């Protein structure tokens, strides 16, 4: 992950118009695309992004909040969660929406799709929680390799380890992560 510019975050935290416009330009497209690809409209995308932006700014103003992703990634995750909640609300209102003609009812989304997305979201949250609980070296190796897509040689150089040690460390850490995820998933069932 590229380093987040602390000045940019401070400008957003302070509500500076230009910084918020820049963030909007950076993040809106991917969020809108996700909503439009999942039964949403342009209006839905605009409204939801505004809500996500407000949530992000409020989070930045919380003293103990620590941003662990790029602002664009964080906003996308907030938009996705808000959109899933919105789809769930719509499903509860008979799974249909009315457009112009009261006799023209359009099915919104299959319940199976929403449930499947919720299950995947739950798994991702569980993995993220357990990943945060791993020891520093393990977390650093796994985050660098899987999320930052860094080659093992580069990770070894940064961590001042041999290439072979990092390869073994990655395998052990991944095995440990898998074990903890399976244990946690089994207890939640």
Residue with more model confidence, 162 or 108: 162
Q: What is the distance in angstroms between the CA of the first residue and the CA of the last residue of the chain?
A: 33
Domain count of the fold of the chain: 2
Pairing of strands 101-107, 96-99: antiparallel
Task: Supply the pLDDT for residue 108.
Answer: 45
Q: Is 99 helix (H, G, I), strand (E, B) or coil?
A: strand
For the record, the structure tokens of 126 come out as 């569980």
Domain carrying residue 43 = 1-109
Output the pTM of the full model. Answer: 0.49
Whole-Å CA distances, 53 to 8, 94, 107 = 15, 30, 29
Q: Out of 56-70, 83-97, 170-184, which region has the weakest mean confidence (pLDDT)?
A: 83-97
Specify whether 13 is located in the same domain as 98.
yes
Q: Is 104 helix (H, G, I), strand (E, B) or coil?
A: strand
Specify whether 133 is located in the same domain as 44.
no
């Amino acid at each position: 992950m590229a380093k987040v510019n602390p000045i940019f975050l401070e400008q957003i935290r302070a509500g500076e118009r230009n910084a918020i416009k820049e963030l909007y330009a950076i993040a809106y497209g991917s969020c809108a695309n996700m909503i439009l690809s999942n039964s949403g409209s342009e209006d839905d995308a605009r409204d939801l992004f505004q809500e996500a932006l407000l949530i992000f700014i409020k989070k930045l103003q919380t003293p103990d909040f620590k941003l662990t992703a790029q602002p664009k990634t964080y906003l996308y995750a907030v938009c996705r969660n808000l959109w899933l909640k919105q789809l769930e609300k719509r499903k509860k209102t008979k799974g249909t929406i009315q457009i112009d003609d009261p006799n023209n009812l359009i099915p919104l989304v299959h319940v199976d799709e929403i449930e499947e997305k919720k299950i995947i979201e739950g798994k991702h949250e569980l993995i993220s929680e357990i990943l945060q609980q791993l020891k520093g070296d393990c977390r650093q190796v796994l985050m660098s390799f899987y999320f930052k897509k860094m080659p093992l040689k580069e990770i070894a150089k940064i961590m001042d380890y041999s290439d072979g040690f990092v390869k073994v460390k990655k395998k052990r850490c991944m095995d440990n992560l898998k074990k903890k995820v399976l244990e946690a998933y089994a207890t939640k069932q």
